[in-house]
């Protein structure tokens, strides 16, 4: 893979669309016989060489790039497991027939699927297979002299000639100085001067592609040794960085859970501010979590503040504030009047008004276990059809709306279950004596009795919670630095324009005929004008040398 | 001036700029129509004229400096300059009204993006004489400004995730690259039209609308220059500043969010374009098609992903 122009190692042959080569066919192999795509008999070694040359050809690299672009598309249209697992679950429910097929094809995790990996790994091999030999070619070109002049300079795209009164040697020496001043590398030989410049283009090209390889290696290291997890921390409680405290945790294959730095965070306040007026009322204005951080057991706690765009960093691990929500403080008493559950319970925000959903599990209630399920509305209002909705994300007029379930919560089955959902297999909804499910509507400080002497539920108050993301991406600077280097290389490869130039001087009847020609390796419009400038400089030089500084010119001629 | 008055001024500026640009666009369309009509009448004359006169006709037509099409082109350019100046004032007023950079939501990005397209275009008109792209660029700007009304929001503060200096760098780089992509796509489209016409005619086309365009080789070269400018910027926006900011705001450098996926796709397609220009069988037409595909992925990322797919960038860029 290379940025234009292709150097010899990867230049596809010049006759692209001849009758033998159909569009999209691989570049013809030099060893190939005319008319056939492949010689009739190839030894495995030859076949391997042929396949390698195909893989590392520019055309294959181009096709792989386009396939990579195409392969990335489905992951933006179908929810991805690693990005939004809740959306994946919802998609599975909405498309029960399609989901198993998408599963088989790995469409729910496109970017770690075998086929996506195959495309970028092939591209990686193609890039390496291209830049390694090209680096060797480039190293030779750097040591080599500028290419010698073609026999007939007048056939080149830019050509000029003039007559001079100077000697052949003086013309060549002057040309050498003019071209050197234009940063050409020059080599003169018997009345002919060869010059070349723009070597940095290929260097930039090679640096760009090599950097991309480093980027991929760096990303691979980060994902093998890195980890990322989420935890919900309620105001007044804490989080210590051990595996059991995470709600969700994913780690690379080589990241050990024992390597988690043992810090502790105590959350004092989670503050979320929202626009209170205007057309953008209810839009978030700022989020901030404050509290104290204990970097290691026994260390002194220090205050911290985390806000969006301003994470907290502890020993290579960063703590981000990625969300907030409400945890209503709920106390449940059973039929005997005993407190069987008390404390803040995080309810997860379901929309931008912070209408939140959650459950309270009360396994210790007797005679039967209880489960509460429902909504928390930070600012209760009545929506269409009389359904309570949240009018504003801040807790202005909080209301807790709950249904009550009784029976077996299924916590003893040994099957892990979500703390945000009830397993209703062994539960039945509690009903009013008059019929219909019991629905509790509570404001802070209110207590509602449950029917059938099951006890009571109190809504004591509201606390906010912070959703923290704790992540470590080792060597993250490596791919980023490599990308910066890549862009520098890219700029060189796009803006440095290699050019070759030749000057030939011959003595004809006592006068010197000077021929100047230039060849651009990238098509450009200014070859002719630039050549005219060089010629003008050469002629001016010849004149001024004679007129103003005869001694120096004589010295040159000697 | 208070923020409300500035916001009013910004809206007025956008409205008048849209009108001025629409007039510019119509003048440039008239320019093409005049060129077409001239070519047609020249053809008729040539058919009726003696053989010796017909050979003179094209040279005389092109030598005439004050062709109606040229007058219309100058008028169109003047309207475009006026519209751009009004739009620049509007964007400035919007920024002052909101007290921050004026690209904090989809509406603002569309308006600021249209301004960037016009500035890139006018800069290249001055430097590289790309006035022949006028109908496409002004038409695009009018379309974007007209459609931006659909996502209008009055100026307000930023959502917390956007409140970062990376907003300045990341979005500005993406917008400038996008402005160059528009010019590049216009050049690629006209290249394809002229290339096809010349392939049909079996030689260079020098009259009519296509005669007002530069040679296909020059259009291809301009396309490359514009993309060579845009691609490194896009790399910076999508693959460097984007990930750094994503790490600060969301706790990960790269998460295959739909917006990131399409930014990556755009990057890959434009990388394909740069390679195509050096690959036999892809030079010229193939490369131009890839430039157009790249532009379509860029537009889809801005319009389709913002409006139809939910993701972390839902506040819309």
Between chains, do B249 and A309 touch, taking CB under 8 Å as contact? yes
Q: Which of B216, B232, B242 should one mutate to test binding to chain A, selecting the residue with the greatest count of A CBs within 10 A?
A: B232
Residues in chain B closer than 8 A to A471 (CB atoms)? 251-252
A293 pLDDT band (50/70/90 cuts)? very high
Question: By C-alpha distance, which of B248, B313, B243 is closest to A471?
Answer: B248
What mean pLDDT value characterizes chain A?
Answer: 83
The answer to whether the CB atoms of B217 and A523 lie below 8 A apart is yes
Nearest residue in chain A measured CA to CA from B153? A279
The predicted structure's pLDDT at residue A269: 92
From chain B, pick out residues whose CB is under 8 angstroms from the CB of A110.
256
Q: What is the pLDDT of residues A96-150, one digit of tens each?
A: 888 899 989 989 988 888 899 899 999 999 999 989 999 999 999 888 888 888 8
Please tell me if residue A15 touches chain B, with a CB cutoff of 8 Å.
yes
Among the partner-chain residues B163, B265, B305, the one whose CB lies closest to the CB of A309 is: B163
Q: How far is B28 from chain A (nearest CA, A)?
A: 27
The verdict on A487 touching B (C-beta cutoff 8 Å) is yes
Question: Which chain B positions have a beta carbon within 8 Å of A58's beta carbon?
Answer: 275, 278-279
Closest-CA distance, B87 to chain A, in angstroms, reads 24
A219 at B interface, C-beta within 8 A:
yes
Cα A427 to chain center, whole Å?
Answer: 46
- What per-residue string of b and e applies to A266-293 under the rule 16 or more CB within 10 Å gives b? bbeebebebbeeeebebbbbebbbbbeb
A220 touching chain B per CB within 8 A: no
Q: A76 CA to chain B: closest CA distance, Å?
A: 5
Give residue B134's pLDDT. 93
Distances (CA, A) of B135 to A57, B66, B80, B130, B132: 39, 20, 10, 11, 8
Q: Which residues of A are less than 8 Å from B285 in CB distance? A: none
Residue A441 forms contact with B (CB below 8 Å): no
Q: Is the pLDDT of residue A24 over 50?
A: no
How many pairs of residues across A and B have Cβ atoms under 8 Å apart? Answer: 162
Question: How far does A74 lie from chain B, in Å, by closest CA?
Answer: 10
Confirm or reject contact between A445 and chain B (CB < 8 A).
Answer: no
Which uninterrupted H or E stretch holds A135? helix A114-143
Q: Give the other-Cβ count within 10 Å of B233's Cβ.
A: 20
Per-residue pLDDT tens digits for A492-544: 999 998 899 999 988 888 888 899 999 987 777 778 888 888 888 888 876 65
Interface contact flag, B251 A469, Cβ < 8 Å: yes
- Chain B window 155-194: which residues touch A at a Cβ cutoff of 8 Å? 156-157, 159-161, 163-164
Question: Cβ separation of B275 and A61 shorter than 8 Å?
Answer: yes
Residue B272's nearest CA partner among A485, B264, B172, A7 is B264
Q: What is the pLDDT of residue B300?
A: 92
Question: Measured between alpha carbons, how far apart are the two ends of chain B, in Å?
Answer: 29
Comparing CB atoms, the residue among B221, B253, B305 nearest residue A476 is B253
* β-sheet bridge partners, residue A465: A234, A325
Which tens digit of pLDDT belongs to each residue from A393-421?
888 899 999 999 998 888 877 777 777 88
Which residues have CB under 8 Å from A416's CB, separation 6+?
A: none
Regarding an ipTM greater than 0.90, the answer is no
Chain A residues near residue B269 by CB distance under 8 angstroms: 65-66, 69
- Domains of chain A (ranges, CATH numbers): 1-130 (no CATH), 145-198+497-557 (3.30.310.80), 326-462 (no CATH)
The pLDDT of residue B52 is 47
pLDDT greater than 70 at residue A78: yes
pLDDT on residue B112: 94
Task: Name which of B268, B291, B312 to mutate to probe chain A: the one with the most chain A Cβ atoms within 10 A of its Cβ.
Answer: B268
B208 touches chain A (CB under 8 A): no
The whole-number pLDDT of residue A551 equals: 40
Find chain B residues with C-beta within 8 A of A82's C-beta: 255-256
pLDDT at B263: 94
Q: Please name which of B311, B137, B100 lies closest in space to residue B226, comparing C-alpha atoms.
A: B137
CB-based contact, B300 to chain A, within 8 Å: no
- Minimum-distance CB partner of A65 among B160, B164, B275: B275
Query: pLDDT confidence of A19, banded at 50, 70, 90?
Result: very low
Instruction: State pLDDT tens for residues B113-157.
Output: 999 999 999 999 999 889 899 999 999 999 999 999 888 888 877
State whether A59 and B279 contact (CB < 8 Å).
yes
Q: Which residue of A has its CA nearest to B247?
A: A309
Contact across the interface for A66 and B269, Cβ inside 8 Å = yes
Chain A contact set for B221 (CB, 8 A)? 523-525
pLDDT at A323 > cutoff 50 = yes
Which tokens hold the place of A203? 């260097």
Low-confidence ranges of chain B (pLDDT < 50): 51-64, 315-317
Cβ–Cβ of A480/B272 closer than 8 Å? no
Between CA A180 and CA A455 the distance in angstroms is 96
pLDDT tens figures, A424-448: 888 889 888 888 888 899 999 999 9
Give B283's contacts in chain A (Cβ within 8 Å): 16
Q: List, as ranges, residues 263-282 from B with C-beta within 8 Å of A.
A: 264-265, 268-269, 271-272, 274-282
* B253 touches A at CB < 8 Å: yes
- Which residues in chain B have their CB less than 8 angstroms from residue A310's CB? 248
Is the distance from CB of A170 to CB of A178 less than 8 angstroms?
no
For residue A84, give the DSSP letter: -
| B201 has a chain A CB within 8 A of its CB | no
**Chain A contact present for B3, CB below 8 A:** no
Q: Which of B261, B279, B297 sits opposite A12 (nearest CB)?
A: B279
Both structure tokens of B273? 């374009």
Contact in structure between A191 and A153 (CB atoms under 8 Å): no
Partner B contacted by A109 (CB < 8 A): no
Q: Which residue of A has its CA nearest to B249?
A: A309
pLDDT digits (tens, 9 = 90+) for A340-399: 999 999 998 888 788 898 999 998 887 788 999 999 999 988 777 767 788 888 888 999
- A30: pLDDT strictly greater than 50: no
């Amino acid at each position: 893979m290379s940025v234009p122009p292709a150097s010899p190692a990867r230049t596809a042959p010049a006759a692209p669309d001849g009758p033998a080569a159909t569009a999209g066919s691989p570049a013809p192999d030099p060893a190939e016989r005319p008319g056939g795509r492949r010689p009739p008999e190839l030894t495995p070694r030859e076949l391997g060489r042929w396949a390698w040359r195909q893989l590392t050809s520019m055309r294959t690299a181009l096709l792989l790039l386009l396939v990579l672009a195409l392969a990335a598309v489905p992951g933006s249209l179908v929810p991805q497991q690693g990005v939004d697992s809740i959306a994946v679950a919802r998609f599975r429910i909405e498309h029960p027939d399609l989901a198993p097929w998408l599963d088989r094809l790995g469409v729910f995790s496109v970017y770690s699927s075998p086929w996506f990996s195959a495309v970028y790994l092939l591209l990686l091999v193609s890039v390496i297979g291209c830049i390694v030999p090209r680096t060797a070619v480039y190293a030779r070109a750097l040591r080599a002299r500028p290419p010698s002049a073609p026999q007939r300079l007048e056939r080149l795209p830019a050509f000029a000639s003039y007559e001079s009164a100077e000697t052949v040697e003086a013309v060549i020496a002057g040309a050498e100085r003019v071209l050197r001043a234009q940063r050409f590398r020059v080599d003169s030989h018997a009345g002919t001067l060869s010059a070349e410049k723009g070597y940095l283009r290929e260097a930039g090209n090679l640096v760009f592609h090599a950097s991309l390889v480093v980027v991929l290696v760096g990303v691979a290291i980060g994902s093998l040794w890195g980890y990322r997890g989420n935890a919900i921390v309620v105001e007044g409680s804490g989080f210590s960085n051990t595996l059991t405290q995470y709600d969700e945790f994913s780690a690379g294959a080589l990241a050990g859970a024992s390597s988690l730095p043992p810090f502790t965070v105590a959350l004092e306040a989670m503050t979320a501010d929202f626009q209170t007026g205007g057309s953008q009322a209810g839009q978030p204005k700022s989020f901030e979590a404050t509290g104290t951080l204990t970097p290691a057991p026994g260390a002194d706690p220090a205050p911290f503040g985390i806000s969006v765009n301003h994470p907290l960093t502890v020993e290579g691990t960063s703590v981000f504030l990625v969300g907030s929500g409400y945890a209503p403080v709920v106390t449940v008493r059973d039929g005997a009047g005993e407190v069987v559950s008390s404390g803040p319970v995080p309810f997860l925000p379901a929309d931008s008004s912070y209408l939140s959903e959650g459950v309270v599990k009360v396994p210790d209630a007797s005679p039967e276990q209880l489960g509460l399920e429902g909504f928390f509305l930070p600012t209760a209002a009545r929506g269409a059809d009389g359904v309570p909705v949240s009018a504003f994300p801040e807790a202005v007029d909080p209301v807790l709306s709950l249904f009550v379930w009784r029976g077996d919560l299924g916590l003893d089955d040994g099957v892990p279950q979500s703390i945000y959902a009830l397993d209703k297999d062994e539960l039945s909804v509690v009903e009013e004596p008059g019929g219909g499910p019991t629905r509790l509507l509570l404001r802070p400080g209110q207590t509602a009795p449950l029917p059938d002497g099951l006890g009571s539920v109190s809504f004591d108050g509201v606390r906010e919670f912070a959703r923290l993301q704790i992540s470590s991406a080792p060597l993250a600077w490596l791919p980023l630095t490599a990308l910066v280097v890549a862009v520098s290389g890219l700029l060189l490869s796009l803006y440095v324009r290699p050019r070759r130039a030749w000057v030939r001087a011959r003595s004809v009847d006592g006068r010197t005929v000077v021929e100047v020609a230039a060849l651009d390796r990238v098509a450009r419009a200014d070859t002719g004008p630039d050549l005219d400038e060089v010629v003008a400089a050469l002629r001016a030089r010849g004149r001024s040398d004679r007129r103003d500084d005869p001694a120096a010119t004589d010295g040159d001629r000697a | 001036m208070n923020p409300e008055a500035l916001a009013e001024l910004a809206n007025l500026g956008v409205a008048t700029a849209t009108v001025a640009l629409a007039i510019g666009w119509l003048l440039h369309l008239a320019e093409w129509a005049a060129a077409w009509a001239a070519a047609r009448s020249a053809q008729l004359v040539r058919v009726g004229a003696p053989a010796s006169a017909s050979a003179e006709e094209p040279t005389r037509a092109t030598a005439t400096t004050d062709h109606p099409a040229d007058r219309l082109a100058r008028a169109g350019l003047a309207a475009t300059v006026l519209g751009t100046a009004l739009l620049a004032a509007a964007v400035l007023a919007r920024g002052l009204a909101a007290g921050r950079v004026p690209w904090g939501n989809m509406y603002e990005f569309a308006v600021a993006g249209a301004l960037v397209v016009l500035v890139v275009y006018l800069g290249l008109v001055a430097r590289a004489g790309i006035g022949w792209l006028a109908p496409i660029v002004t038409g695009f700007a009018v379309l974007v400004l007209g459609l931006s009304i659909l996502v209008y929001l009055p100026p307000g503060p930023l959502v917390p995730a956007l409140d970062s200096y990376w907003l300045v760098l990341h979005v500005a780089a993406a917008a400038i690259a996008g402005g160059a992509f528009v010019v590049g796509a216009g050049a690629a489209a006209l290249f394809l039209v002229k290339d096809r016409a010349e392939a049909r005619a079996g030689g260079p086309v020098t009259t009519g609308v296509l005669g007002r365009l530069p040679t296909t080789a020059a259009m291809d070269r301009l396309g490359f220059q514009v993309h060579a400018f845009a691609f490194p910027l896009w790399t910076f926006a999508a693959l460097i500043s984007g990930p750094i900011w994503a790490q600060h705001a969301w706790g990960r450098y790269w998460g295959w969010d739909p917006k990131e996926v399409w930014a990556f796709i755009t990057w890959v397609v434009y990388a394909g374009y740069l390679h195509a220009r050096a690959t036999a069988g892809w030079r010229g037409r193939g490369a131009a098609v890839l430039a157009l595909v790249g532009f379509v992925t860029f537009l889809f990322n801005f319009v389709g992903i913002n409006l139809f797919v939910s993701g972390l960038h839902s506040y819309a860029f």
